[in-house]
Amino acid sequence: MSHAASALPRKKLPLGIQTLAKLREEGCYYVDKSGLAIDLIASGSYFFLSRPRRFGKSLLVDTFKELFEGNRALFEGLAAESRWDWSQRHPVIRISFSDGMLQSRAELDARIHEILQDNEVALGVQCERRTVDGRFAELIRRVHERHGAPVAVLVDEYDKPILDNLTEPARAAEMRDGLRNLYSVLKGADPHLKFVFLTGVSKFSKVSLFSGLNNLHDITLDARWSALCGYTDADLDTVFAPELPGLDRDEIRRWYNGYNWLGVGVYNPFDVLLLFDSRQFKAHWFDTGTPTFLVRLLAEQSWFTPDLARLQADEMELMSFEVEQIGAVALLFQAGYLSVHAAEETETRELIYTLGYPNREVEMSLNRVLLPGYGVPMRAASLQRQALMRALRERDGLGMETALRALFASIPSDWYRRNPLAGFEGHYASVFYSHLAGLGLDLQVEDATSHGRIDLTLRLGAQVFLFEFKVVADAPEGHALQQIRDKRYAEKYLGRGATVHLIGIEFSRTARNVVGFEIETLQG
C-alpha cells in the first residue's frame, strides 16, 4: 500500500446505517449506487430483486425513496445529482417487514394495517376501507390524487414473515396467502403507479405469491444489476482506500469477495465494514444467522457435501422456492451460501448455472455447522480440527491419521441407529470433506488433471496434499493410494516445484472408521 493511500483521511464506517440521509449527514463512507438506481428507473416500472440478508437492500430502497421525493441535497457530488430531474417529485409508499417476528395471519394483517396507517399519516390521506387489499388500493389511488403525481411503491423484506416461519409450513403458507392479498393490489393499481420495487431474500414463484403480477420484472439474475447491492473490488480500492493499510488485500478478496449474479462480482457490505472495524478476518456475516433449517434440510436429503463446492442447476431449480416443497439448491443460492460461478446456454436456449461457494468465509463456516447434522459433535469437530491443522503444518502423517480416526470415533453409535444418513455411503466422505473444508484452507474438490480427477486437493504454502478416499467393506485394500500413483495425479504439481503428499484413505462400513491410511511424499 502506498504512503499516499495510507495518508488518506478515514471516515466513519456506516455500520448498521440503512438510510441515505443519516449516512450522508454523518460523513460516512458511501459507495455511490445512485447512478445504477437511475438506470433501473429509466429501464422500466415494476421490479423484483432477491439478495441475501445484510446485503444493502434497505439502503437501496431508501435511495429510491430519496430520489422520488426529490431530496437533492443528499445527492450532492453523486452520480444522480446531474442526471435526475429534480423538478419532478413523486409520493412514496414504503412497506417494510423488517421489524419483529409475526407468528399468525392475524398478526400479519394487523402489522399491514399499521404500515398502511403510517403511510396515510405521512402522505396526508385517510382511507375508509378496512380490508387489507381494499385499504392498500385506496391508499395508492388517494395518494396519487392528493399529490398530483403517480406513486412509487417500495417494499423491503417483502418475504420475512414467510421466512420467519419456514419450520412451520402451515403457518408459513398462511403468511404467504396474507402477503399475496397485499401484493396482488399492485396490478390493478397500474394507472396510479410510477415505480414498484420489491426486494427480499427469497424468490417465490409468481404463481404462489405474485399471482397475476406478470409485469413484475425479476432482475435477480440480470448481469446489468449484479452490483446494484454490494461492494465491488474497485469500490474497496477507491472508496475504502484509507482502510486498506495493514490488511492483506489478497486475503480480503479470498475471504469475502465472490458473490455474483452473472455480472460484476461483489462483496457483502456487512463483511467489509466489520473487517475494517475489527481488523480481523472472521465469519462476520455468517455468524449473524446460523442456518439451522438449511443444515437439517441437507442432512435429511442426504446431501453429498463435496457437491456443494461445484453444483449445476437450471433456472427453475435455482429460483423456485415454495413453502410446501423447499429445494435445497434454491435455499442455498438465495440465502447467499452458494453463488453463480458460470452460466452456459444449452442448444434449447436454457441457461445452466454452475454454483459454488462465494468465498472462504462461507465455505469454512457452512461446513463447520454441517458436521453436527452429519453426526459429529461440535466439540469433537473443533478439537480434531486443531489436531489435524497441526499435523498438516508439521507434515505429520500419523498425526493426521489419529485426528481423523478420533473424528469418526466421536460419532455416537446411537446416531447411526436412528439416523437415515447412516445408510448413505457418501456420509463418510461428506464428513471427511466438510471437516477439511472447515479448516479454511485452499481446498479444491475433484481437481482435474490430464489423467483424471483428484478427490481432494489441499494447498498449504509450498505443500500440496492429494487425497483419495474410498469406502471398503471391512479390511483395508490399499486401492486409494495406488489410484493416485496409477493416475499420476502428482505430476500436475511436481512440475511447479511443490512438495506433494499423496494420501490414500480407506473407510470401513463395518468399523465405521478409518482402516487404511497411507501416505507418500514426493519432492518437486
What's the residue count for the chain? 524
Please give the pLDDT value at position 174.
Answer: 95
b/e code 245-284 from CB counts within 10 Å (16+ = b): eeeeeeebbbbbbbbbbbbbbbbbbbbbbbbbeeeebebb
pLDDT tens figures, 286-317: 999 988 999 999 998 889 999 999 999 998 88
CA 412 to chain centre: 32
Q: Give the end of a domain, one of 205, 220, 235.
A: 220
User: What strands, in cross-sheet order, belong to the sheet with 351-356?
Assistant: 311-314, 351-356, 339-345
Residue type, 123: L
Q: Give the end of a domain, one of 194, 220, 246.
A: 220
**CATH at 459:** 3.40.1350
pLDDT tens figures, 442-486: 999 887 766 678 889 999 999 999 999 998 888 888 899 999 999
Please give the pLDDT value at position 205.
Answer: 66
Q: Select from 260, 266, 37, 74 the least CA-distant residue to 154.
A: 37
Please give the pLDDT value at position 211.
Answer: 67
Q: Which residues pair with 514 in a beta bridge?
A: 507
List Cα–Cα distances, 196 to 37, 116, 175, 216, in angstroms: 13, 16, 21, 8
Rounded CA-CA distance 6/171 in Å is 53
Please list the alpha-helical segments (H only) found in 167-288. 169-183, 185-188, 233-238, 249-256, 269-278
Please give the pLDDT value at position 463.
Answer: 94
- CB atoms near residue 197 (< 10 Å): 25
Q: Does the residue 314 lie in any domain? A: no
Alpha-carbon torsion, ordered 89, 93, 98, 103, to 10 deg: 180
Residue 118 makes CB contacts below 8 A (sequence gap 6+) with: none
Residue 134 makes CB contacts below 8 A (sequence gap 6+) with: none
SS3 for 104? coil
pLDDT tens figures, 357-386: 999 999 999 999 999 999 999 999 999 999
Cell of 195: 415505480
Q: Which residues pair with 499 in a beta bridge?
A: 463
Q: Does the residue 488 lie in any domain? A: yes
Q: Does the residue 346 lie in any domain? A: no
- CB atoms near residue 123 (< 10 Å): 17
Whether 140 and 193 have beta carbons less than 8 Å apart is answered as yes
What's 205's DSSP letter? -
Alpha-carbon torsion, ordered 411, 413, 414, 417, to 10 deg: 110
Q: Does the residue 463 lie in any domain? A: yes
Rounded CA-CA distance 383/381 in Å is 6
Please give the backbone phi and psi of residue 403, each rounded to the nearest 5 degrees, phi first: -65, -40
Q: Select from 501, 502, 465 the least CA-distant residue to 481.
A: 502
Q: How many domains does the chain have?
A: 2
Q: In a 10 Å sphere around its CB, with 0-12 CB exposed, 13-18 middle and 19+ buried, how is residue 104 labelled?
A: middle
Rounded CA-CA distance 474/512 in Å is 9
Residue ranges for the chain with pLDDT beneath 70: 1-7, 205-208, 211-212, 449-451, 524
Residue type, 50: S
Structural domain of residue 106, as residue ranges? 31-220
Q: Does the residue 45 lie in any domain? A: yes
**CATH at 151:** 3.40.50
Residue 322 makes CB contacts below 8 A (sequence gap 6+) with: 204, 205, 208
What's 87's DSSP letter? T
Please give the pLDDT value at position 497.
Answer: 80
Q: In a 10 Å sphere around its CB, with 0-12 CB exposed, 13-18 middle and 19+ buried, how is residue 191 labelled?
A: exposed
Q: Give the end of a domain, one of 204, 220, 236.
A: 220
SS3 for 443? strand
Rounded CA-CA distance 443/5 in Å is 33
Q: Select from 373, 243, 234 the least CA-distant residue to 296.
A: 373
Q: Does the residue 12 lie in any domain? A: no
